[in-house]
Structure 1
Amino acid sequence: MNRRKRTLKGVRISTGGSSTGSNTLGSAATDSQTTGDGTPTQSSEEVPATPAEAAKGTKRKRGPTNMKDIWNLEPGTRIVVDANQYGQPIGMEASKLSEFLGTIARTGSICPLNTKHWKHLSKYVLENILRIVHEKFDLQGKVEDSDILSHVGKLRKEFKSTLKTRYYKEMVQEGRSIEEIYDNNPPGVHDDQWKWLVDRWETPQAAAQSEKAQESRRKVRYAHTAGRTGYATLNAQFAEKEGREPSRLEQFRIQHLRKDGSDNFSSDAAEQVYDEACKMVKDSMPISDSPSAPQVHVAIENAVYTQMFGPDKNGKILGYGRGMTKSKLFGYGSVTRGSQSTSAISTLIEEMNAKHVEQIQTIQSEQALREKTLLEEAESRFRSEAVEREARLIAEAEERFMKLTEIREAKFMDMLDAREKKYEALINECMAKGMSIEFQSSRLDDKAFSSDDDE
């Protein structure tokens, strides 16, 4: 009893109300392993090491939580669970409820594992689970039974994944036979259910589904870092402190801080995307202040969040925790509806559109001016280069003309020198022979011209 008081310290307990069903589990509520007081349990406080772990000398890990204190509550005693306006459990009791649902999901006699999908369980099994939950917890009519069953189905799926990782994959990688895998039955799991799981995992369909799930998991950029505290509880704590519900961007921040209570993000990627989103929010804020400034700020943060992370898919709303859907959010009120009127939202949209149009026009005018300046600079540079090129070509042409002129002048002078020498030679020849001047002159001209023609 003392141990139960320590474990359930701070938890609200009701003893006056009556439960919706008794803890008469019958043959379907007692596991193959039970404690002395009839409490269903999965294993001892530690899980025995697998054969692969035993061969490697791996230390045994802590086993699943048994929640014996809740299973051993006296008849008529229930834990009171609070819920928010969306029907989500919040507070310390919500964590206890989630852990208790985990024990149900791991108890094969209550929640069988030998079905492909959660929806394939019989109606009797689902009703029995609800009866057990309502006997131990007072949900005050705020939490839907469908949400309870959905959570059990999720925990059941996670438990099957844990079994596959610890007791199946390692033996397959080591090349163990199917009989050895059958014998490696995890503690607390029925033999027939374990064999059904192994046969299921051996099929190509299960292998393809596992590969698809692993691929989806690798795309997750920002993992849950709040520990046992759920998103709904974090949002409720923020609302109690600030007097309003957090925006989706604020949800992202409080849900990705370190568990040590500091304001540091759990990863650099989360901090980087948050800083970028805050910058976008600051740029999108309207210039004029109005009485609805907090609501406007929240709406802008929600719009920036959608722009950064994209629209919600598959009917799920990120940041609100399990069980949240668009119909619940918009039906019961949200951070964008309820606290703001339709006219305020319309005004905000118009202001944002006007500001964006103004920004676009400013960018376009700046771009046009920049293009004009670049064009003028390019034209001026082209003209200067053309003038320089023209001057260089003219100088080269003049230089070549001068060289050709010098060459021609030199050839002409050489030709004149040659003619002068020939004339002198002819005159000397005539003088030597004593010819008359007339004859010498005519002879000299004939020779000179004939010589020039021949040349």
Structure 2
Amino acid sequence: MKMRGLVIRDVSVRSSQQPSNEDVDHESQQEIGQSSTVNPSNAPNPVVPLPVRATRGASKYSFIWNLPENHKIELPLTSSNQPIKKAGRNFTGWLGTIARKPQLCPIKYKNWTRMPDEFKEEIWDIVQSKWIFPEEPARLEAIKNRTLSLIAKSWRNYKSTLKKKYFLGSGNRARVPPNVILEDYEALVQYWSLPKTKDLALENKNSRSKQTNVHTGGSKNFASYAEEMVTTLGHPVDRADVYVKLHRHKDGTPVNTIAESNISSDLTGSIAWAPDDVYAQVFGNERNGRVRGVGFGPTPSMHPAKSTPAIAQVRSQERDAEVTQLKNQVASLTEKMSRYENMEERMTQLMQLVQNQQNQQNHSSEASRGGFSLDQQSPTPYRSQASSHQETNI
């Protein structure tokens, strides 16, 4: 069965209890205080509310939540376990709906590490009930960790949106956001109100303002773009190629002056996201935990082609050791062959000697059968004629 470009299979699995869309995606207008945004009629300069642009709101991905029982969606993955194609985009977007469900991801916790493990296990059970993953244990565990990391990222972004819209927004601070539990929101507001939290938020805001590496990829991840480029070009691409593609507008112009400067550099790296490739020469060394320019997921320790100078030196030494070992093996084989040849020559001589002895024995046998035997010869020694005429003393 196909739905919106997805391949859905009927599988026999035990369906875990899943939250209903109607239970959590309703609008609530609870109030925890009274606030007024209407100016009195006698105000000298009445405030005219600005028109609000109509939007469709966050996607609910109801077609995934409402899948029939024992039906799952095939999820295409790269060798690095990154979701790709249309199904991959739906998978990532659907994970965002999990992050916004209050009974699955309560917002009252300070960070994702403090989220109880039972919530995470329940989330993973729901994800496995909707999607088909590889069965290899090691790969499945890696996909689980990455999936929970994606949900954690969406969860943090969701709380940031709530803070910007309701906690910091003019006139909305006393309003409880829709689809949010009152007690959870109050706990979150208390945390946002702490002086150390405000200082940390200001520091993060300043750091974020310095980021200039924006791209035009949209919601599609880098792995999907790379997969499309490989299909079109017919050969593997490295992150420098992906960078050029995702940092230009449709008309070909760079997104900003920083990207223009980077693209004009010699971004023709020959080793995909190696720590010492051309991309790294332009942007600097990699940081722990992720690799820039390849999308969410891959880390430096995962890549087989990483080549820092120290690693290159170690690998050079390993190659030299292997060459030396091979040379020793060749020398040993050559010595054994030489010994074998000498042994073969000796065996030939021995066989010749045995053949000669056999010939002599055969000759002796033939002479015996002809009436002439060495045993019948007189044992009397040969005497000269002079001795034969001498008298014998009696």
> Which bin holds the TM-score, normalised by the shorter protein?
0.5 to 0.7
Indicate how the Cα distance of structure 1 residues 329 and 185 shifts in structure 2: closer, same or farther if over 3 A, else same: same
Following TM superposition, the consecutive aligned residue runs of length 4 or more in structure 1 with deviations greater than 6 angstroms are 50-55, 297-302
Residue 104, structure 1, aligned to residue 66, structure 2: no
- Checking the alignment, whether the CA contact within 8 Å between 2:271 and 2:277 is kept in structure 1 is no
CA-CA distance at 1:301 after TM superposition: 11
Where does 1:219-238 land on structure 2 (aligned, <5 Å)? 219-238=210-229
CA-CA distance at 1:108 after TM superposition: 0.6
Q: Tell me how far apart the structure 1 counterparts of residues 27 and 83 of structure 2 sit (CA, whole Å).
A: 28
Note closer, same or farther for the CA distance 1:56–1:307 as it changes in structure 2 (3 Å cut): same
Structure 2: any 5+ residue segments left out of the alignment?
29-34, 39-46, 309-314, 320-394
1:167–1:186 Cα contact (<8 Å) kept: yes
Q: Do 1:13 and 1:80's aligned partners in 2 also have CA atoms closer than 8 Å?
A: yes
Distance verdict in 2 for CA 1:297–1:202, change over 3 Å: closer
Deviation, structure 1 residue 267 = 2.9
Q: Does 1:24 align with 2:23?
A: no
| TM-score, with structure 2 as normaliser | 0.66
Aligned to 1:75: 69
**SS across alignment from 2:265:** helix
Q: Do residues 9 (structure 1) and 8 (structure 2) align?
A: no
Displacement of 1:103:
0.5
Matches within 5 A, 1:80-229: 80-141=74-135, 144-171=143-170, 181=173, 183-229=174-220
Mapping of residues 44-443 of structure 1, within 5 Å: 56-59=49-52, 60-141=54-135, 144-171=143-170, 181=173, 183-258=174-249, 260=250, 262-278=251-267, 303-330=277-304
* 1:207 to 1:296, Cα distance in 2 relative to 1, 3 A: closer
Q: Per-residue deviation at 1:303?
A: 2.3
Compare 150-159 and 204-213 and name the one that shifted more: 204-213
Provide the identity percentage: 25
| Cα deviation code 1:253-300 (max 9, x no counterpart) | 122233x4x54433343123211234xx6xxxxxxxxxxxxx958799
In the alignment, the residues of structure 2 paired with residue 76 and residue 219 of structure 1 have an alpha-carbon distance, to the nearest angstrom, of 48
Deviations 1:5-49 (A, max 9, x none): 7xx42122222x334x51413xxx45xxx52xx6x42649xxxxx
Quick one: which amino acid aligns to residue 303 of structure 1? Answer: D
Unaligned runs of 5+ in 1: 45-49, 175-179, 282-294, 337-341, 347-455
Length-normalised TM-score, structure 1 = 0.58
- Secondary structure of the structure 2 residue equivalent to 1:323: coil
- Structure 2: which amino acid aligns with 1:166? K
Asked whether the 8 Å contact 2:96–2:154 carries over to 1, the reply is yes
Q: 1:335 to 1:229 in 2, by over 3 A?
A: farther
**Count of residue pairs the alignment pairs up:** 291
| Contact 1:248–1:319, Cα closer than 8 Å, also in 2 | yes
Distance (Å, rounded) in 1 between the aligned partners of 2:227 and 2:276: 18
CA RMSD of aligned residues (A): 3.2
Higher Rg of the two aligned structures: 1
User: Which gives a bigger RCO, structure 1 or 2 (Cα 8 Å, sep 6+)?
Assistant: 2
Tell me if the contact between 1:298 and 1:335 (Cα under 8 Å) persists in the aligned partners.
Answer: no
